[in-house]
Structure 1
Amino acid sequence: MRKTSTMRRAPRQNNRPHRRHHAEAPQNAQRNYQRYLALAQAEAKNGDQIAAENYYQHAEHYLRSMHEAGART
């Protein structure tokens, strides 16, 4: 009788390339940039500097995405 292993196999890797939605649709990146910038400004105004910095970092990510998408065109 064959003994089965109790170890689980690692999940298979998906071979599809990772899609970068914000790079494919610059208007979405711009909308998200504006949204996170507004959220950051609101939090800064309310005095929550930690939340504001978090939102500023998100806004910066989308700003870089917009510049990257612009450089490719």
Structure 2
Amino acid sequence: MPRARPKRKGSTARLRETGQFLNAQRRYERYVELARAKALTGDYVAAENYLQHAEHYLRSMQARQAPDPLRK
């Protein structure tokens, strides 16, 4: 029976966190661009909706960058 490899929490975990940050950044930029496009067509309700989505991803990115007060 093959031995199970121990799971490592090293560079893979950091890469995953970085990937999630970049994904949030891309989504933020996408929603801002969608909001601009809707505002240019005069659909301000849809533009506001997209801006609210963008704000969610902005907060997500800010939370990841904030230092964890419990870690030293």
Tell me the TM-score range normalised by the shorter chain: 0.5 to 0.7
5+ residue gaps in structure 2?
1-16
Question: Could you tell me the TM-score, scaled by structure 2's length?
Answer: 0.66
1:10-49 maps to which residues of 2 (within 5 A)?
Answer: 25-49=20-44
Structure 1 runs of 4+ with >2 Å offset: none
Identity %: 56
Question: Could you tell me the TM-score, scaled by structure 1's length?
Answer: 0.65
More helix by share: 2
Q: Distance in 2 between matches of 1:47 and 1:64?
A: 27
Instruction: Please tell me the root mean square deviation across aligned C-alpha atoms, in Å.
Output: 2.2
Query: Following TM superposition, by how much is the alpha carbon of 1:66 offset from its aligned partner in structure 2, in angstroms?
Result: 0.4
Count residues with an aligned counterpart.
Answer: 52
5+ residue gaps in structure 1?
1-21
